[in-house]
Structure 1
Amino acid sequence: MTSARYPIVDVLRTRHTGYLLVTSLLGRLPGAMAALAIVQLVRATSDDFGFAGLVTAVYVVAGAVGQPLLGRLIDRVGQTAVLAVSGILSFLAFAGMALALGTAPGLAVALAAAAGVFTPPLEPALRALWPRLVAPGPQLKAAFILDAGAQEIIFIVGPLLTVLGIAVFGPVGNLLFAGALGLVGAIAFVLNAAPRAASRSRRGAGPRHPGVRSPILIPAVARVAVFTFGIGVPVGALTIVATASEAARSSAGLAGWMLAVNALGALVGATVVGIRPLGSTPARLLTVCGVLLAVGYLPLAATSLPNVAYLVAAGLSGLMLPPTLGQVFERISQLSPAAALTEANGWVVSAMTLGVGAGTLGAGVVVGASGSAAVTWVVLGASALTAALSLIVLPGRAESVPLSVD
């Protein structure tokens, strides 16, 4: 069979794509390691879980703020300098946080914010490169799906690397290890010719003419960002659902297995759609994909299911995430001006991050107040919110022509 039938093969064979994808994933590993690494370090020093939660939340929120800001800077001056400098600053902040967590709590919180703000925006940077690297149509669709599916590898490998890092380097050294991985990934990414070429093309570009100052102010882009927030909510709630279900069933390890199987389901979804990209346009598919993602979580509301069936439900809930994110990435590439594409992708990354955080926080509050019996209502509520926010990107509501950005 020819690769024309499998556009994902053509994407992987295209020059630069494999290297950029791997180095991007390496540089994004701290995002999947930091929460567990911070909790384990605080546990080793003060055993104050409240403080650990605060530091983690500051890091996550600061990262959500930093991604579009750094993305905007990339659109102005190019990828190379921004990614390299932010990688160095984020690593230094990680190192300072690791040393300060046990002795200077206030400084540690400030450094957590710095580590988040300066997280290299590798995710939006790579997505801004895809339209330059692969042909439009099925190949570009497959590239975005491949990108979305590859993210799941981060959240499988990240916690395992954290466990390994603690065993080898100790809690302090492990946080340094996480920061170092981010720095190495960012530097390796910009050493490739494609980001350097993108940087050269930005030199002297400047604003094209007065218009919308940021892509998030384009109504269609803003609606896609709100939609992306919505699909992050059940993803975040799943952590609490899995933990509460494990406690209710007195089944040690169930939560870890649920999250792993969910990630496996996402990889399956990415593989299927990568091989056979969806035929319609993102404008038509976004709402459908969002509703299907919401429906996919509903079986988890049946808390009386046997453990094996509940694990199957966790796997099914992950199937639609990469296809949905793939439509988001492609739609953003259509709606955003080319000169602001990195920032636009940064807003989507932030929206997803905040959605996951909101889902985790909301589910934690509900389960904390009502016990594990509230899992059913958490799942139903998260799915309902996702489905409702999916309606915001119904065809006909989003503009098809991007505006120029000042």
Structure 2
Amino acid sequence: MSASPSVRPSYAAVLRVPHARRTFAAALTGRLSYAVVPLSVMLAVTGSSGSYAVAGAVMALFGATAVFLSPARAALVDRHGPRRTLAPMTAGHTALLGLLAAAVSRPDAAPAPVLGALAAAAGACVPPLGPTMRAVWTRLAPDRALLQRAYSLDGVAEELLFVTGPLLVGVLVGFAPPAAGIVAGAALMAVGTAGFLSSPALAAAPAGAVAVRRGGVGLRGLGRPVAAVAGVGLALGVVDLLVVAFSERHGHGSGGAAVAWVLAALSAGSAVGGLLNGAVSWRTPAPGRLPWLTAGLGLALCGAALAPGLGALAAAVAIAGFFVSPALTTAYLVADEVAAPEARVRAGAWINTAVNAGCTAGTAVAGALAGRLPVAACFALTGAAVLATAALVAGASGRRTPGEGTPGTDAERDAGETGTGRKGTPARDTSPLVPLA
């Protein structure tokens, strides 16, 4: 991968784009709910039922419907537009969270099936603010360099949300019952979505109803970024559990400050990597960078297998994190390039789904392996799996599907003007915003 010395727009330039700060701030407010609600539900259900098994089952139902129905919700946004779909989704989601909070606040605990049904229904209605915001960035930042900066800023901000959310819950439960965290998450979602939908950036009319009805049209070529981020998600799920196992086997206990510092190093590395990735003017197009970034993550995990102690593991995990945000950001850029204008929200939602599914699978795999193999071997196997994913993505990039990209697209015109594109690279359309999920 090589970088161009050409001048790049700054992150401040992204925020100076008309309506960008207002729209982005509102979207982040709503997305903070994603980091507040799950932990609050877990704590509230555990306290109400007195059973970790019930809490785990309720959270599994909430997570399953939230993650695996995300592309379906995205399709609705693609077809009908964000203003027609996000408002009723938010109303249903917040109302169901309110009912769940009331159910876990009763002196006599509600039956587990009731809690599970409420959680599943609330998850099914989660508004896809992240993919929709990235669709808005596509319209607000039509220049490719500016869009890369915007996506990097969005990814790092999201990373910080998932650090801040649990901290806010920890402060809140210090003086209020855990159910208050559920209510707070619902309020964040309601306020954030209302501000987001009121932005002039969402004024464009939807234009994708026909393609959405035809199912997969507009999503050709999405397999590569989906496979790559599934590998990234797998790595994240494995690392979370293996760090706990490593700490325990090296005499630091299975929780507390030791584990927190190592996982904080992962987040810090991801944030730094994301900011630097956005600052570089890459000559290699996003599809070509994606396998290299995925491979970097795999190699870092193989390096973690050699860590003799917790300090070395923290350093290795920070290096691994350095590739996480750039890989995700690049995957979103690839998805934006290959998706038709009427399918951009669904494309982003599939990336989200792949990350979360990979993370869930990684946690399950790590749990099975950690009890049978040394932690070092588990890190090495995970690194090898991510490297295999990178090789698969690289091979697929070399076998571009016929018809992916159309002569005369924006991408090919850009290639002729800048010398950085390739004939056949799918274009990122810069037409007015088509709502995504």
Q: TM-score, normalised by structure 2?
A: 0.84
Q: What is the match of residue 279 of structure 2? A: 275
Q: What is the match of residue 247 of structure 1? A: 248
Q: Would the aligned equivalents of 1:141 and 1:277 in 2 still touch at CA under 8 Å?
A: no
Q: Percent identity?
A: 26
Q: Would the aligned equivalents of 1:215 and 1:221 in 2 still touch at CA under 8 Å?
A: no
Give a deviation string over 1:166-191, Cα, whole Å, max 9, x none. 12331111222122212222222111
Q: What is the match of residue 80 of structure 1? A: 83
Distance 1:277 1:99, change over 3 A: farther
Is residue 352 from structure 1 mapped to residue 355 from structure 2 by the alignment?
yes
Aligned partners of 2:186 and 2:400: how far apart in 1? Answer: 39
Is residue 377 from structure 1 mapped to residue 381 from structure 2 by the alignment?
no
Counterpart of 1:348, as a letter, is I
Greater Rg over alpha carbons, structure: 2
Q: Aligned ranges for residues 30-45 of structure 1 at < 5 Å?
A: 30-45=33-48
- 3-state SS of 1:24 partner: helix
Is residue 94 from structure 1 mapped to residue 97 from structure 2 by the alignment?
yes
Give a deviation string over 1:307-366, Cα, whole Å, max 9, x none. 322222221111011111121111111111101111111111111111111111221232
Q: What is the match of residue 393 of structure 2? A: 393
Counterpart of 2:127, as a letter, is P
Q: What is the match of residue 338 of structure 2? A: 335
Q: What is the match of residue 214 of structure 1? A: 216
- 3-state SS of 1:183 partner: helix
Aligned partners of 1:295 and 1:91: how far apart in 2? Answer: 42
1:21 pairs with 16, 19, 24, which one? 24
Aligned partners of 2:201 and 2:73: how far apart in 1? Answer: 19
Root-mean-square deviation (CA, aligned residues, Å) is: 2.3
Q: What is the match of residue 171 of structure 1? A: 178
Q: What is the match of residue 145 of structure 2? A: 138
Q: What is the match of residue 311 of structure 1? A: 314
Compute the displacement of 1:224 (Å).
2.1
Q: Would the aligned equivalents of 2:38 and 2:59 in 1 still touch at CA under 8 Å?
A: yes
- 3-state SS of 1:280 partner: coil
Q: Would the aligned equivalents of 1:142 and 1:277 in 2 still touch at CA under 8 Å?
A: no
Counterpart of 2:193, as a letter, is A
Give a deviation string over 1:172-231, Cα, whole Å, max 9, x none. 112221222122222221111112x13xx216x531698x5225862x213321222111
Give a deviation string over 1:360-383, Cα, whole Å, max 9, x none. 12212322x33xx63223222222
Aligned partners of 2:52 and 2:399: how far apart in 1? Answer: 44
Aligned partners of 2:12 and 2:399: how far apart in 1? Answer: 34
Is residue 325 from structure 1 mapped to residue 328 from structure 2 by the alignment?
yes
Is residue 116 from structure 1 mapped to residue 123 from structure 2 by the alignment?
yes
Counterpart of 1:390, as a letter, is A
Counterpart of 1:36, as a letter, is L
- 3-state SS of 2:222 partner: helix
Q: Aligned ranges for residues 37-56 of structure 1 at < 5 Å?
A: 37-56=40-59
Aligned partners of 1:208 and 1:257: how far apart in 2? Answer: 47
Aligned partners of 1:209 and 1:17: how far apart in 2? Answer: 27
Q: Would the aligned equivalents of 2:230 and 2:358 in 1 still touch at CA under 8 Å?
A: yes
Distance 1:168 1:192, change over 3 A: farther
Aligned partners of 1:214 and 1:97: how far apart in 2? Answer: 35
Aligned partners of 1:97 and 1:157: how far apart in 2? Answer: 23
Aligned partners of 1:45 and 1:162: how far apart in 2? Answer: 17
Give a deviation string over 1:16-35, Cα, whole Å, max 9, x none. 22232222222122322333
Aligned partners of 1:235 and 1:22: how far apart in 2? Answer: 27
Aligned partners of 2:170 and 2:83: how far apart in 1? Answer: 32
Aligned partners of 2:290 and 2:335: how far apart in 1? Answer: 11
Larger helix proportion, structure 1 or 2?
1
Is residue 362 from structure 1 mapped to residue 369 from structure 2 by the alignment?
no
Aligned partners of 2:88 and 2:33: how far apart in 1? Answer: 16
Q: What is the match of residue 293 of structure 1? A: 297
Distance 1:22 1:259, change over 3 A: farther
Q: What is the match of residue 238 of structure 2? A: 237
Aligned partners of 1:357 and 1:105: how far apart in 2? Answer: 23
Listed as ranges, the gaps of 5+ residues in structure 1 are: none
Which aligned segments of 4 or more residues in structure 1 are displaced greater than 6 angstroms? none
Distance 1:362 1:27, change over 3 A: same
Compute the displacement of 1:141 (Å).
1.4
Q: Would the aligned equivalents of 1:97 and 1:109 in 2 still touch at CA under 8 Å?
A: no
Listed as ranges, the gaps of 5+ residues in structure 2 are: 1-5, 406-425, 428-437
Compute the displacement of 1:233 (Å).
0.5
Give a deviation string over 1:115-147, Cα, whole Å, max 9, x none. 211111011101111221013221111111222
